[in-house]
Structure 1
Amino acid sequence: MDGKVVVVTGALGALGKVVVEQALARGARVAGVDHAPSQARATPNRIEIGSVDLSDAGQAKKAIDAAAAHLGRCDALINIAGGFGFEAVTDGDAQIWQRMFALNVLTALNASRSAIPHLVASGAGRIINIGAMGALQAGSGMGPYAASKAGVHRLTEALAAELKGKVTVNAVLPSTIDTAANRAGMPKADFSKWVTPKELANVILFLASDAASAVTGALLPVSGRV
């Protein structure tokens, strides 16, 4: 990743922070984009662009263009921004379906469309999306989330076909990620079986690297030790 310019959405979240740290450790220059306010001053190798609603196409384009302008180009886009909701289909509120679509599909769509010109100009552009193992077969209460992540899977495949030979587009499909929020929500689970943020970051950054130049359209399970 030495010298690569990487844009990470959802950069201030549990997974995003680790991906940013690991990318910087490997010599990349990184722009982090997040809905939360920026927490750090810009440097030549790093910039945080906060208070961005990526479900809004205009805000997404402004943020991605600002990231590319500050760092000189964009070689990889890692779409981590998203959210989770648990609600039954039969008696749930339809608004959660709209919210999951906005948080998981529209954020990835808008960031990707904004980044594509920069990624094509790179000559070795990469898009990595975050799908979900849980979207392959939805359980009770998982309908809205699983449907939105299935949308991310199809977006990944469609973009990979459209951009073949120009930009690679892949998605990782984690099982439960070992974060503080997930531990609090499932206190009786066996955390040792979950995939850690660093393990997932390693796979993401492989897909963003030159070593993955022949991989596109992949939906790669990262299921820990389940």
Structure 2
Amino acid sequence: MYSNEIVNDGIADPKLSQSSISSTSSSLSTDFTKPHLLMQSDLNYLVHNLGLSKAKTQLLGSRLQLWNLSDKKTRASYFRNKQEDFMRYFIKEDDLVFCNDAKGLVQEMGFPEHPEECRLFIDSSKISLKGVLLHNGNKYPSIPLAHATNMKENYGNIQLLLERIKYSQYTWNICADLKVVTIITGLQGEYTKFCFFLYEWDSRAKEKHYVVKNWPQRMSLIPGVKNVKEEVLARR
């Protein structure tokens, strides 16, 4: 999920467009009889292609300087604080770190701004809860929007996460496992009579489970009715 850790590592420059890449490659010396000293743009392009981490990028830059293979103006330290371009979009509140300006972050990274082109992935482990913005066509890297430690999957924590990233402004489609979907739709957990959010499938009517094929569709999610416990956090 975090294979392209742009915010954490801040290495592969998301604003490195195809035009800048082509212009950078075309600027390389065509005279192969002479050594080519790497400019800063050349090093950025190389790091982008190799997908190096911050530590490995600085190591590569320092080795190139040591071997006199880079220009005097090329600095390996350029990548040291690259993540600061994105840190201003994030706020830490207790155990939760979240993006308070998703639109600005998307623009900073040069991604499409249309919410319908992205989906919000919500998941958790035993000790953490996270929300990640994914591009529907997987043409762009994932964007971490929220991460919390010591927060479990429950209604209050997911409600807090959605409020902090201002989900109501963007209304991305949400992808998650069925447990998270149950929480978002406000249904009761554990073994209940109507435990499905799409249809009024009766879990207690075991004699009908292998007989009835078509169950009535659940038309509404009203707290206190048919095992709906809380208000819906995201409308389908």
Normalising by structure 2, we get a TM-score of 0.24
Structure with the larger helix share: 1
Normalising by structure 1, we get a TM-score of 0.25
- Larger Rg: 1 or 2? 2
Q: Give the structure, 1 or 2, with the largest relative contact order (CA under 8 Å, sep 6 or more).
A: 1
